[in-house]
Amino acid sequence: MDALQPCDTEYLGFMLDNSIKETNSLLKCGRCQKMFVVQAVPDSNLVLMVVQADCDCSRQYSSITLEPKEVKYNASVKCNRMKSQKVRRRPKSCHAYHPKENAKDCGGASEISLSKALFLASLATSLALRRWT
């Protein structure tokens, strides 16, 4: 085994046209048809896909896996690939924030806050127990 060899993988890819914000269609499967809707999630690179699941199309269409496949090269291609491959370097900074993102909309489980109703109920219970004992 060579000390230096390319380790390339390929994935099945999908191209998204960013000008299309929403689309829907029917997929014919034998005696039935399946409806689906694809909608772009605002301010992200995500899409939401909703599919009507009461129609089985597995006999007509094969399933799509997102598992990577290793690309095998012959000796000459492998040699050229290794010569042309550039050394990768880390980016200078991390871009984990977007101005249109509102992080306050999600999470909050770690936030400490006082429930006035719970505080008053426990205070009243504590005072009542002190008087009776």
Q: Parallel, antiparallel, or unpaired for β 22-29 and 9-10?
A: unpaired
pLDDT of residue 133 exceeding 80, the answer is no
Residues 6+ apart with CB under 8 A from 50: 36, 37
Residue 60 lies in a domain: yes
Amino acid, res. 33 = Q
> Residue 37 has what pLDDT?
92
Please, are residues 62 and 45 in contact by the beta-carbon 8 Å criterion?
no
Q: Does residue 98 form part of some domain? A: no
Measured CA to CA, the distance from residue 27 to residue 7 in angstroms comes to 38
Report whether pLDDT(91) > 70.
yes
In a domain, 18, yes or no: yes
What number is the average pLDDT over the span 14-24? 81
Phi-psi region of 73 (alpha: psi -120 to 50; beta: other; left: phi over 0): beta
- Its domain, for residue 70, covers 1-86
Q: What is the pTM of this model?
A: 0.42
Number of domains in the chain: 1
Position 8 scores a pLDDT of: 77
Kindly report, residue by residue over 21-47, the tens digit of the pLDDT: 888 888 888 788 888 899 988 888 888
Mean pLDDT value across the chain: 78
Amino acid at 133: T
